Amino acid sequence: MKNDFRNGFIANIPIGFSVAAYGSVCGMMSSQAGVEFYEMLLMNIFIFAGSSQMLMVEMWSDSLDVLGIILAAIMINLRYFLIGASLSSLFKKSTSKQKMAYMHLCADENWAVTIARAKKEAITPLFLFGGGVCLLLIWSASTSMGYVLGEFITDPSKYALDFAFVAIFTALTFNMYHDKNNLLPWLIAAFVAIISEHFIAGKFYIVLGALAGSFSAIYLHKDTLNE
């Protein structure tokens, strides 16, 4: 059981390489957008959510749109409510203190690694936390490196570095494919996300797509409940 921290740490090292790639892009963008180094570190430690940090950096300028940035970042992080909800069975035997302590370092990557592992063997929340510590170290190191390198790379999109996060999430999604029951709800989620991204400003499309896909799954597969 105690080994769960170490196992979680180790299990996140492979995905850590992609986090490092993404982190160096985020660091580069931060230095180019005029985010101070200590501000970036504060985001790393206290927000610890790559895509929202990326979004904040994109919106960063000399005169900050305070409310706009806060709303957009929290909007993209709304999924953490759902991510938290999906971890309820993992934390079933945990105390409130443990929940408060371990949930902060829950990012997309160590969450996905934890969910995948939990389907195969019994693990404790320490597995999630170990992965979170691993990712925090990699994330801080790579964003710092990117920040320093940022002054030298003038065009990150030339090397498709901005596509790195799409590629990571695509790989993670296909990793969750179970059987052809998945297809229709997945297509509905993607379709609703694309349509709402087009018509609704902001980041609502992420939550809308996920809700549409998951609710459709209830409707489409309720017959499996009777088995």
Partner 1 sequence: MSEIDLNALFIIFCVALGTYSLRYMGLVFSNSLSNEGKVKIFLDYLPATLLLSLIAPAILKEGVLGFVATVFIAFCMYKTKSILASMVLGVVIVAIGRNFI
- List the one residue from 3, 6, 58, 64 that touches partner 1 (CB under 8 A): 64
Which one of residues 3, 58, 151, 177 is an interface residue with partner 1 (CB under 8 A)?
177
By CB under 8 A, name the one of 93, 152, 157, 180 that touches partner 1: 157
Task: Establish if 214 lies at the interface with partner 1 (CB under 8 A).
Answer: yes
Q: How far is the CB of 119 from partner 1 (least distance, A)?
A: 10
Residue that the structure tokens 């806060």 belong to: 70
Among 1, 97, 121, 225, binds partner 1 (CB under 8 A): 225
Give dist(CA 89, CA 31) in Å, integer: 40
Binding residues for partner 1 restricted to 124-143, rule: CB under 8 A:
none
- Member of 7, 24, 30, 51 binding partner 1 (CB under 8 A): 51
Rounded to whole angstroms, the Cα distance separating 191 from 108 reads: 22
Q: How far is the CB of 30 from partner 1 (least distance, A)?
A: 12
Task: Give the separation between CA 72 and CA 42, rounded to whole angstroms.
Answer: 18
Contacts 24+ apart (CB under 8 A), 31-34: 31/146, 31/147, 31/148, 31/150, 31/151, 32/150, 33/57, 33/58, 33/60, 33/61, 34/60, 34/61, 34/62
As measured in angstroms, the least distance from the Cβ of 103 to partner 1 is 5
When binding is defined by CB under 8 A, the residue of 26, 135, 136, 161 that contacts partner 1 is 161
Q: Which stretch binds partner 1 (CB under 8 A): 2-10, 138-146, 193-201?
A: 193-201
Nearer to partner 1, 23 or 213 (CB): 213
39 binds partner 1, rule: CB under 8 A: yes
Query: What is the distance between the terminal CA atoms of the chain, rounded to a whole angstrom?
Result: 34
**CB-count burial class (<10 Å; 0-12, 13-18, 19+) for 201:** exposed
